Amino acid sequence: MLVVVDSFLVQAKAAPYAAVVMDARNGKILHSRSADRILHPASLTKMMTLYVVFEAVENGEISLDSRVKISKRAASEPPSKLYLQAGSRVRLRYLIRGAAVRSANDASTALAEAIEGSLEAFTDRMNRTAKLMGMHNTHFKNANGLTQKGHYSTARDMTILGRHIVYDYPDYYNLFSRKYTDVGGRTIYNTNRRFLTNYSGADGIKTGYTEAAGFNLVASARRDHIRIITTVFGGKSTTTRNNQVAKLMDIGFARAENNVKLVKPKVPPYGKYILNGKVLAELSSPTLRPEMLDGNPEAEDQDKLSEEIFASLDQNTDTEIIELGGASDPLSVDGREWDSFLPEPRPRGLTILEGTGILTKNSGVVVGTYYSKSLANSKARRLEFMVPSELFSAKKILLDNGHGIVLKYVGMDEKSAEKVCRILEARQAECQVIYIR
């Protein structure tokens, strides 16, 4: 059978089938078939890649705004990919989106090199993390899931990993539910968008395909208080795989008990990697490689900020790949009242990308007061995943009001500010629209 995968016509061969259905609330297996059979995970691998990246960001090893230099190795990865240009610098958040939504192999390798300096060191960390999660029949050799000797997993292990992503990093998990997103001015579409669209309650998580693996999917869906995670390996096509996952999801919701206490999985320890009393590895103080450091943006020649990051596109090299929100060093306005604050004008020479706002807009949002600057910045990182397009076009402000650090975003239009608060309030997060005169 001929099928199209990422615009490439390939011959789909029969791959071994395996499946697991889990009640995510307590990890109980509701259905399984060949759950522990060693198989090719394909791009389900990227779930672990992204899990390690989320861990690194949350623990201060790297910033979402760090500009990652794309290596020749990353740029040369086969499709599916973003077609990143070797030597270009791309913000970490764009690489995360590319790996999670588009299942981009070049973005995944670039993330691995950004976090650990080399793909080999990163896969070591992936394997340590897998052991700590109880993924007993998994071993990684790369960060993207391309077929390689010694790179394998099981339906059970990938279901365990999916559950950890849902509960360990809930603020990042929503990324997997996006049917499309922006990467450096380009719109990319989710490889899982058909299932997300067609199955009621579906909110993630990750597809995978290689000739050796067949069509794989780890899917999660929530209805009321019940969440089911279903994994299928070895589908014959996207359609048959999605149909099978939907059937198994229905089985899961039918078998799941109503009154089940939520028991979240234990988050793997950060710092010392200890398993059965044995220290597997110990992280030193988080450091960034010299080429990862942004330096002082104000001291840079603005012309040097222009970069062509996509090798396959005829891009205007005068277009700036910039983000106005989420700056690593937020603007300090201690002691100044909001009604006297005037947003700074755009730096000379910058071109605002489509979808971003202009800093002279006179609305904003207040999203909480925190004990410290570090806590406020940590909250900001999570918020920028939840409502990225609006917050990226704004200016982040930390204000010490004498009672704590107030986190605000300004330079938004009224409609965008109201949308941010609607989204955050739906997620039980604090938000208040403000108007700057």
Instruction: Give catalytic residues, as residue numbers.
Output: 43, 46, 103
Extract the runs of DSSP E, i.e. beta strands, from 99-195.
180-183, 186-189
Spell out the residues 6+ positions from residue 45 whose beta carbon is closer than 8 angstroms to its own: 108, 140, 142, 143, 144, 145, 151, 153, 208
In whole angstroms, give the CA distance from residue 126 to residue 273: 12
| Residue 253 exposure: Cα atoms within 13 Å on the Cβ side | 17
Angle formed by the axes of helices 92-101 and 105-116, nearest 10°? 140
Q: How many CA atoms lie within 13 A of 318 on its CB side?
A: 3
Q: Quickly count: other Cβ atoms within 10 Å of residue 190's Cβ.
A: 23
User: CB–CB of 36/253 below 8 Å?
Assistant: no
Number of residues in the chain:
437
3-state secondary structure 346-382: CCCCCCCCCCCCCCCCCEEEEEEEECCHHHHHHHHHH
CA dist., res. 136 & res. 240, Å (int):
29
Peptide bond into 205 cis (omega under 30): yes
Q: Which residues contact 37 (CB under 8 A, 6 or more apart)?
A: 16, 18, 154, 155, 233
Q: Are 409 and 391 in contact (CB under 8 A)?
A: yes
Range 247-280 burial, b when 16+ CB lie within 10 A, else e = ebbeebbeebeeeeeeeebeebeeeebeeeeeeb
- Ramachandran bin of 255, using left for φ above 0, alpha for ψ from -120 to 50, beta for the remaining angles: alpha
Q: Are 6 and 77 in contact (CB under 8 A)?
A: no
Token couple for 46: 């990227």
**Are 408 and 395 in contact, with CB atoms under 8 Å apart?**
no
Angle in degrees, CA 38, 157, 280, rounded to 5? 100
Rounded Cα gap, residues 401 and 127, in angstroms: 45
